[in-house]
Amino acid sequence: MKINLILLDSSLELVPKEIISHPAVIRNAKKRNKKAEHTLLDISLHYHAMKDLPNREKRGRPDIVHLAMLMFLTEQAPIKGDFYIHTIDSKLIYVNNEMRPPKNYNRFVGLAEQLLVYGKVPLNSNESLMKVLDIRLKDLKQKYKLGVLSEGGKRVKPEELCNLGEKWLLGIGAFPHGDFSEEVKEVADEYFSISNYKLETHQVICRLISSCLQQLGWP
């Protein structure tokens, strides 16, 4: 039993060129001794700069991705399958499921910036912990069926998703507000819901892991 997981429309991106000259962006970059275009978009730092950005309600929350990675990748059980991150600007990132993401958020930010600027981390290794792939979300359909977790999806018990099989890739939104992009909707094979309530990204992952481990007798 393994869970293949992908974070969808993830709120993880570098500062876009539209706001590269905004004082808030320049101030943060200068403080960190980095080029503005090499820093993560973060609404807690760039709130005023983001006011006129399109789709702003879904952007600037890399902390959601960080928490989701911690929840899934620090699990020691043998249920961890393939793991990907699909970003709001349509990048597709492979994540080695043996990776141990930094628990400190600032360290995660530095790692994510390196990944998005240079395409992989670490830079000096043949085996990447994270890598930006030269394919799109739709290309994963050659390997998986995509089941998207959504409030409006077919109501199922979490343990049912554990038993779908390794040909399924479970997609969870990793953005604060709004709906899935058309890119996601076009490739989704099925929509599932595991709660009557709106759950945050890390809560969905926690329920999935717990349900699968319960079936395995809590190894």
The annotated binding site is made up of 173, 178, 195-200
Residues 6+ apart with CB under 8 A from 31: none
Distance of CA 130 to the CA centre of its chain: 12
Residues 6+ apart with CB under 8 A from 212: 1, 3, 77, 79, 158, 159, 162
Residue 145 · residue 6 · CB < 8 Å: no
In the chain the beta strands, taken as DSSP E runs, fall at: 3-10, 80-87, 92-95, 120-121, 130-132, 145-155, 168-173, 190-193
Q: Binding site for S-adenosyl-L-methionine: what residues are annotated?
A: 173, 178, 195-200
Token pair for 194: 């595991």
The torsion defined by the Cα of 150, 154, 158 and 159, in degrees rounded to 10, comes to -150
